[in-house]
Amino acid sequence: MSIDDETILLVAAYHDGELSPSETLSMEKRLAAEPELRALAADLRNLSSRLTDILPADGPPDELRARIISETGLSDMTAPRDQRMPVWMALAASLLIGVIIGGGIVAGINFGTTSSQEATLDVVYAAHLRSLVAPQPFDIASSDRHVVKPWFNGRTAIAPATPDLASVGFPLIGGRVDIVAGSPVPVLVYRHDRHIISVTVLPRQPGTSPSEGSHDGSNIHRWDAGDLTYWAVSDLNNGDLRQFIAAFQSAR
């Protein structure tokens, strides 16, 4: 299946956090159902990280920027610059997205699950990707577990434990709410160096067991504790992610 230009623009807008809540939910459903879009979102996430590393924060010279805008027919964005990718960076991203699409989409996630668990996996993975390409990966920014845990009250039916793992190199940096199976669920956000770890907390799913999988540089782990199921997603290497999970489980 080829991806049309309108869909590419929607994915780019999703990447920039420019879609409305209803449009975002619609896109997340598409990401869960369409492997090519998930792969495109992952590629765009990786691209964004690479551009951040190699491109200067102040942008190109005004003359080059004006020439790019003139030759492409694009105009400057009107929203505050700290809420958007600069025009020149967006143009570079658009060009590289074309290269990515032309080169084909990577294979799906290697993860042994039932059909219902696969659906959950798709949504959790897509939500993690969306958080990485959004202006920030959390709805509340705090390293204080006594701030993050109560923030979920009234927003989700689950008030998860929020262990502080800074002493072992995995500081809590915030939390957010994702929609899984039509319900709001808590997501704890941790950091290790420059890597983000999303821990999505769900009611325990029947028939689940600890599992590991990977896709396009991201590692995904699932485990149960009490009446809850946890999904951890990150581009951390598998060894470090296992270390994080062991610390998380022992700290709870």
Encode 201-234 in three state secondary structure.
EEECCCCCCCEEEEECCEEEEEEEECCEEEEEEE
pLDDT of residue 126: 87
- DSSP one-letter code for 194: T
Share of the chain above pLDDT 70, in %: 69
- Residue 67 identity (one-letter amino acid): R
Q: How much is the average pLDDT of 208-214?
A: 73
Instruction: Please indicate whether residue 225 or residue 12 has the higher confidence score (pLDDT).
Output: 225
User: What's the distance, CA 236 to chain centroid?
Assistant: 13
Q: In CATH, which of 3.90.180.10, 3.90.1300.10, 3.30.200.100, 3.40.640.10 is domain 115-251? A: 3.30.200.100
Alpha carbon of 48 to those of 51, 174, 185: distances in Å?
5, 21, 27
Q: How far apart are CA 187 and CA 160, in angstroms?
A: 9
Question: Backbone phi, then psi, for 143, in 5-degree steps?
Answer: -100, 5
Q: Is residue 144 packed enough to be buried (19+ CB in 10 Å), middle (13-18) or exposed (0-12)?
A: exposed
| Start-end of H helices in 86-232 | 87-102, 115-133, 145-151
pLDDT in tens, 62-106: 665 555 555 544 444 333 444 444 443 444 444 444 444 444 333
Instruction: Please indicate whether residue 23 or residue 103 has the higher confidence score (pLDDT).
Output: 23
Q: How far apart are CA 49 and CA 46, in angstroms?
A: 5
**What confidence category does residue 49 fall into, taking pLDDT thresholds of 50, 70 and 90?**
low
Instruction: Please indicate whether residue 231 or residue 100 has the higher confidence score (pLDDT).
Output: 231
Alpha carbon of 4 to those of 98, 175, 232: distances in Å?
11, 34, 32
Handedness of CA 55, 130, 186, 203 (dihedral sign): negative
Ranges in the chain annotated CATH 3.30.200.100:
115-251
pLDDT of residue 232: 96
Q: How far apart are CA 220 and CA 224, in angstroms?
A: 14
Contacts of 179 (CB under 8 A, 6+ apart): 25, 28, 123, 127, 185
pLDDT above 60 for 48: yes
Which range among 40-44, 133-137, 149-153, 201-205 shows the weakest confidence by mean pLDDT?
40-44
- DSSP one-letter code for 82: G
